[in-house]
Amino acid sequence: MKMKRLLYSTVLALSLSGIYSGSLEAQQAVQTPVAGTKDMKTQMDQMHAQMDQMRTEMEQVQTLMKDAMAKMAAADAAMKAHMETEQASMKSQMALQQGVIDHLETMTDHMQSMTDCMAMMPTSMDNQKKGKSMKGKEMMKDQPK
């Protein structure tokens, strides 16, 4: 009977230790999620902070891109205005050069027509030249020496 009691007491001790260790595991399981929850909350806070930082950076990049696009549009408009001014200047310069060419052609035509007229009247010009030179000689004769 002593054996039976010893066996029963051993079984009882083992079962009590199993219950006690089971309750310790349950306590640790309960404590672990609490600690895990704190860790998860910290991680979630970090993730929210990172997301906020990323949003801020994205907004800054978008602002920079908008500024760059506005500057490019302004530069394009300035370049277009400059090109239009240059084109107008070139047209004006070409018109002036064409005017000079037309004027020179008119003068050349006029000089050619004068040359043609002078070629048609050689005798009258010679007579006029001779007449002038004769008058000059007669005047010189009339002057006392």
Taking alpha carbons only, the member of 89, 85, 67 closest to residue 77 is 85
**Host domain of residue 58:** 2-101
Q: What is the pLDDT confidence band of residue 121, given thresholds at 50, 70 and 90?
A: confident
Domain assignment of residue 107, yes or no: no
What percentage of the chain reaches a pLDDT higher than 70?
Answer: 61
pLDDT: which is higher, 16 or 56:
56
Domain count for the chain: 1
Torsions phi, psi for 142 (to 5 deg)? -70, -20
Domain assignment of residue 36, yes or no: yes
At residue 37, the pLDDT reads: 79
At residue 52, the pLDDT reads: 96
CB 34 within 8 A of CB 40: no
Domain assignment of residue 116, yes or no: no
Domain assignment of residue 93, yes or no: yes
Question: Which residues, 6 or more positions from 118, have their beta carbon under 8 angstroms from its beta carbon?
Answer: 125
At residue 13, the pLDDT reads: 73
Domain assignment of residue 119, yes or no: no
CB 132 within 8 A of CB 139: no
Domain assignment of residue 29, yes or no: yes
Domain assignment of residue 54, yes or no: yes
Domain assignment of residue 53, yes or no: yes
Torsions phi, psi for 121 (to 5 deg)? -115, 60
Instruction: Indicate yes or no: pTM above 0.85.
Output: no
For the four alpha carbons of 22, 28, 31 and 35, in that order, the dihedral sign comes to: negative
Q: What is the pLDDT confidence band of residue 118, given thresholds at 50, 70 and 90?
A: confident
